[in-house]
Amino acid sequence: MRTSRAERAANYLILCAFAVFALFPILTIVVAALGPDDSGSGTPSASVAGVHVGNFAQAWQIGHFGTYLRTSLTVSVLVVAVSLVLSILSGFAFGTMRFRGSTVLFYLFLLGIMMPSEAIVVPLYFDLRSIGLTNTLWAIALPQIAQSVAFGTFWMRAYFRSSSRAIVEAARLDGASNRRILWQVLVPLARPAIVTLTVLTFMWTWNEFLIPLVMVTDESLRTAPLGLAFFQGQYTQGFTLLAAGAVIVALPVVALYLFLQRHFIAGMLEGAVRE
């Protein structure tokens, strides 16, 4: 397409302006986290070439982010691993087999993709409390496993349906069992789809706020975003350590995004129905 030089320049200008707008709040935090501590505590944090990396150590210590990250990591790994296996199994059933009621059942799963956490968190809390499960990792993980299974089933079904018909038919003619077809033929081929599902589930779990907020009161069970929210409420001596904490909380997902951004973007656009 032919475009004039002036138009091109204007386009780049718009592009840059918008990129700056998108980055600005994130940079606010990063810059504050790397700057000198503004809390006036008197102990200057360690700095390397003007960059105060010591802020992170201080935030880590004062804000207990080590504990929060450990909880978040445990919950995320649990949710990702369990929901992935369950989704592969159910996606395989929906995608490659015919059985009575499969359409109705599938719509039932679709319902879960749209269902907001707000609708389930109230009864979940009181029911889990009555069986003594609140204030445990399970109370945070199980509801999120259910949500992730809804999306994962939808995601894996779409994949198995679109790409593996001929393979499945050939393998069945060869007399391969269902279990073999799934784990030795389809799953290795589905690696890109599985990676996408893994990073999306990890991101959603890591960033989830409402469920851990409601389910746990024990400080040692707070997830990273929850810990940050409480830290912001309690620590009012300045912004530097809060910003450092925010960077710590955001970093794992952002780092993963920078490496696997194709999976993030494609997954969120194709799996658009969930959010």
Site for other proteins in 42-81 (CB under 8 A): none
| Residue (15 or 46) nearer to other proteins, CB | 15
User: Where in 129-148 is the site for other proteins (CB under 8 A)?
Assistant: 142-143, 145-147
Q: Which of 61, 64, 65, 68 is CA-nearest to residue 223?
A: 68
Query: Distance between CA atoms of 221 and 235, rounded to whole angstroms?
Result: 19
Torsion of CA 254, 256, 259, 265, to 10 degrees: -80
- 249 lines the binding site for other proteins (CB under 8 A): yes
Please give the C-alpha separations between residue 146 and each of 7, 152, 169, 256, in angstroms, as whole numbers.
Answer: 50, 10, 31, 24
| Residue (46 or 219) nearer to other proteins, CB | 219
Q: Which among 39-47, 48-56, 59-67, 239-247 is the span making contact with other proteins, rule CB under 8 A?
A: 239-247
Q: Name the phi and psi angles at 48, rounded to 5.
A: -120, 115
Q: Which of 55, 76, 87, 201 binds other proteins (CB under 8 A)?
A: 87
- 6 lines the binding site for other proteins (CB under 8 A): no
Q: Which of 23, 46, 57, 81 binds other proteins (CB under 8 A)?
A: 23
Q: Which of 108, 162, 180, 237 binds other proteins (CB under 8 A)?
A: 108
What kind and span of H or E run contains 268? Answer: helix 261-270
Residue 56 has a CB neighbour count (10 Å cut-off) of 20
Phi-psi region of 97 (alpha: psi -120 to 50; beta: other; left: phi over 0): beta
Q: Which of 66, 119, 183, 184 binds other proteins (CB under 8 A)?
A: 119
Q: Which among 19-27, 45-53, 62-70, 185-193 is the span making contact with other proteins, rule CB under 8 A?
A: 19-27
| Residue (53 or 110) nearer to other proteins, CB | 110
Name residue, tokens 């409601």.
Answer: 214
Q: Which among 40-48, 55-63, 187-195, 202-210 is the span making contact with other proteins, rule CB under 8 A?
A: 202-210
- 244 lines the binding site for other proteins (CB under 8 A): no
| Residue (17 or 46) nearer to other proteins, CB | 17
Query: Distance between CA atoms of 195 and 254, rounded to whole angstroms?
Result: 16
As given in the structure block, the two tokens for residue 150 are 């809804």
Q: Which of 12, 81, 180, 259 binds other proteins (CB under 8 A)?
A: 12
The distance of closest approach from Cβ of residue 119 to other proteins in the complex, given in angstroms and rounded to an integer, is: 4
Judge residue 27's burial from the number of C-beta atoms within 10 Å of its C-beta, 0-12 exposed, 13-18 middle, 19 or more buried: exposed
Query: Distance between CA atoms of 224 and 72, rounded to whole angstroms?
Result: 6
The distance of closest approach from Cβ of residue 170 to other proteins in the complex, given in angstroms and rounded to an integer, is: 10
The distance of closest approach from Cβ of residue 231 to other proteins in the complex, given in angstroms and rounded to an integer, is: 9
The distance of closest approach from Cβ of residue 123 to other proteins in the complex, given in angstroms and rounded to an integer, is: 4
